[in-house]
Structure 1
Amino acid sequence: MAQSIQDFHDDPRNADIRIWVNGELKHRNEAVVSVFDSGFVLGDGVWEGLRVFNGHPAFLDAHLDRLYEGAKAIAMDIGMSRAELTDAIYATLAANGMTDGVHARLMVTRGVKRTPYQDPRVTVGRATVVIIAEFKTAKPETLAEGLSLFTVHVRRGFPDVQDPKLNSHSKLNCITACIQAYTAGADEALMLDPHGFVATCNSTHFFIVRRGEVWTSTGDYCLGGITRANVIQVCREAGITVREKNFSLTEVYGADEAFVTGTFAGLAPVRQVDGRTIGDGKPGPMLARLRELYAGLVQRDVAARAASRAA
């Protein structure tokens, strides 16, 4: 059965989690926002996903960089400093007794409107900030068996239409791509850029391995992925040739390995694209090596953050 890389096994502890809503920690059944909220009315906002290890969000600085840059791009005042937002994340984790096996969603919208209309000037009050932390990890069977991808007609567009660098609440193009993929029987959508080259997936970034080299897209038509950048970094540190370049579906079908990256699942294998088996259809040696290197980078980042919080 087709399933997203974002799928997980339900954890009963999530039934009683506390959610941070504008400075208050509320039970999940009571955590609500207004029907006039900009995020509900128009998807007007930005967000980040965070993985938590040993009580600390990994690569938090990079995630906050992207969040604040996105907010600035849409002329939205988050209303909280980085330090205040960081404290709110840790307060949410502490309230739920969370240290490992946790995924957090940090969401910021422009706030409540006095009428449901797109103009930001009809917003009244401050931004809405929500932090949802859950006990949630990617399914082990998915990480072991890999994903099947289907190339969809929905493209990653030019930045003058909707900049793909902006991690906005408005994700309808990715949603329609996802729908096309799963109705075709695949797990995720592979999306092309306006020129027909491979860009990214609907919720993850895409890599292939050819003759010992790791390839990913130029990045011109995809979100500036944190995990994507970290994989590129560990490749370079380990002396593995990594290329950000244009490549076609023909080169994908003939790849030795393929995998996707994302904050939630880390690195996950791709076994099939458009009905073509990639390599032998099993996770390959390059993926295994990169997973180890990435895990080491996570450990270093978390250790540095733990030392910083203790200081």
Structure 2
Amino acid sequence: MSYGSHAYVPDARNESVLFNVNGKMLPREKAVVNVFDSGFMLGDGVWEGLRVHNGKVAFLQDHLDRLWEGAAALDIDIGLSQAELSARIEATLAINNMHEDVHIRLMLTRGLRSTPYQDPRVIISDATIVIAPEYKKADPETARRPLSLYTVSVRRGRADVQDPGLNSHSKINCITACIQAIKAGADEGLMLDPQGFVATCNSTHFFVVRKGEVWTSSGDYCLGGITRGKIIDLCRANDIPVFQKNFSLMKCYSADEAFTTGTFAGLAPVGEIDGRKIGSGKRGPMVERLQKLYMEHIHKDTVG
């Protein structure tokens, strides 16, 4: 069974990994939260996916800044400084002796509620902070094997409904999009914005390549992706024309190449959208070039 861009290699070491729950190191099976926790009860929180290379979290400052921005939007008091949270992440990696092919789910919720109710005034604890590291190597084939996408009916919403730039625990719109894509036999869902322009995928960002140009959405209806931003920066630094703009599905079907981006797998080629072959249907030269540039950039950030 394929899990699209999030396909991974199972690793038995995960059975003994310790998770960090509010500063306490706990075995995986005992790393639990209270049923009154805001994240469990209402999806009230924000999160980050972090990738460890060479014993260091790649682009950590970017991820922390996004977490802090989300917490501010939700009026959540994290209770730690960025330096303190960084130290907690480092301690979690150290106690587990983790250095490479590690993925961390960093979760922040508003904390415990005294009763099942959405009003934040019923909070009776500090914020909940969970650091869940796993040995999780992306399936090597993900970089080469083209993904299939399906355009779903679930739209990315406007900021006055639920800001799509907020990386909240509430991911129901993305989950329903993913379900639609799976039922259609695809790896992932391609989501449009309220005007019908291409926005993003349900769990990754989306790009097309047309006549040597790299296009991605305007960014108005998608999460401020860290990897997405790095690819845009790399294109600019390497004289590759790149545009953030509105474009329709018609421009996708006739693209030379397409790909997705995300923290976990980096760049993954797309070979099919809605049953239509994109370009050659295989990984193209632009995707291969950007994959190489991106890995060099990660190495520079975590070693250099």
Deviation for aligned residue 1:2 = 4.5
Partners in 2 of 1:213 and 1:198 — Cα distance?
17
Matches for 1:1-311 after TM superposition, within 5 Å? 1-304=1-304
**Matches of 2:25 and 2:77, distance apart in 1:** 22
Q: Are the counterparts in 1 of residues 174 and 203 from structure 2 also a CA contact under 8 Å?
A: yes
State the shift of 1:7 in Å: 2.3
Distance (Å, rounded) in 2 between the aligned partners of 1:46 and 1:224: 13
Tell me, yes or no, if the aligned pair for 1:52 and 1:99 is still in contact at 8 Å: yes
Q: Distance in 2 between matches of 1:228 and 1:29?
A: 34
Instruction: Indicate the SS of the match to 1:207.
Output: strand
Unaligned runs of at least 5 residues, structure 2: none
The answer to whether the 8 A contact 1:149-1:270 is kept is yes
User: Following the alignment from structure 1 to structure 2, what is the Cα–Cα distance between the partners of residues 48 and 148?
Assistant: 25
Q: Secondary structure at the match of 2:52?
A: strand
Stretches of structure 1 lacking an aligned partner (at least 5 in a row):
305-311
Which position in structure 2 is the counterpart of 1:308? none
TM-score, normalised with respect to structure 1? 0.96
Q: Normalising by structure 2, report the TM-score.
A: 0.99
Runs of 4+ in 1 over 4 A off after TM superposition: none
2:8 and 2:296 mapped to 1: Cα distance? Answer: 24
Q: Secondary structure, in 3 states, of the residue corresponding to 1:145?
A: coil
Distance in 2 separating the partners of 1:147 and 1:137: 18
Aligned counterparts of 2:164 and 2:100: Cα–Cα separation in 1: 31
Q: Secondary structure at the match of 2:255?
A: coil
How big is each residue's C-alpha offset from its partner over 1:140-171, in whole Å with a ceiling of 9 and x where there is no partner? 22322121000000000100000011000000
Give the share of equivalent positions with the same residue, in percent.
63
Secondary structure (helix, strand or coil) at the match of 1:208 reads strand
